[in-house]
Amino acid sequence: MEVMITGKQLDVTPALKDYVEARAEKIKKYTSKATQVIFTLKVEKYRHLAEVLVKVKGYILQAEQETDEMYASVDKAMSKIERQLKKYKEKLCDHRVHNDMVLEEGPPSEAWEKAHIKKRKQFAVKPMPLEEAALQMDLLGKSFFIFGNEKNKGINVLYKRKDGSLGLIEPNR
């Protein structure tokens, strides 16, 4: 398992590096399939942010935490990752996924986008079956998930509806 530690506006001291690596070793307790653990540690004024990204057998688990102290942020972020790993193991045993998908569409206007977007992220879109995308969305604890659909070879958005069911957005070709 590869552990990468990046400090933004922060010098990663040997003590902090050792602490983070020790916390990353706890992932082995849940799975031996983790290939990479990426820590991004940031300091913004008095806020200490720790972001953890774990790649496990094609899945990505992610957690962010902010506190007044870096060690506490790392602890809390790793606790979130550990909960996600427990959930991941349970899902692998369960194999049940909701199949009540619904088609909806409607992109936001450019004026709305310019006025309201506060943060942008980029990531690789991996082709996967719908069931795997639903599992990945649930593991990340997000209300939506963008993925490459293996079936129709297009980019799709899977999302949770207010009634708890799942919806699927597929672009017209």
**Could you tell me if 58 and 125 lie in one domain?**
no
Of 65, 93, 121, the domain-final residue: 93
Mean pLDDT of 45-72: 89
CA angle 80–88–64, rounded 5-degree value: 25
Q: What is the pLDDT of residue 107?
A: 53
pTM of the model: 0.56
Identify the top-confidence range among 77-81, 92-96, 108-112.
77-81
pLDDT at 72 over 90: yes
Mean pLDDT of 137-154: 85
The 10s digit of each residue's pLDDT in 2-31 is 889 989 888 889 999 999 999 888 888 877
Mean pLDDT of 36-55: 90
Of 93, 120, 144, the domain-final residue: 93
- Domain of residue 19, residue span: 2-93
Mean pLDDT of 38-59: 88
Q: What is the pLDDT of residue 77?
A: 92
Q: Is-contact 7 41, C-beta < 8 A? A: yes
Q: Is-contact 67 73, C-beta < 8 A? A: yes
Chain centroid offset of residue 2 CA = 18
Domain annotation covers residue 102: no
Distance in angstroms (rounded) separating the CA atoms of residues 103 and 123:
24
**Could you tell me if 74 and 151 lie in one domain?**
no
Of 35, 64, 93, the domain-final residue: 93
Q: What CATH number is given to the structural domain containing 141?
A: 3.30.505.50
**Could you tell me if 133 and 58 lie in one domain?**
no
**Could you tell me if 6 and 89 lie in one domain?**
yes
**Could you tell me if 43 and 120 lie in one domain?**
no
Mean pLDDT of 73-99: 76
Q: Which residues contact 97 (CB under 8 A, 6 or more apart)?
A: 131, 134, 135
Distance in angstroms (rounded) separating the CA atoms of residues 62 and 52:
6
Q: What CATH number is given to the structural domain containing 50?
A: 3.30.160.100
Domain total in the chain: 2
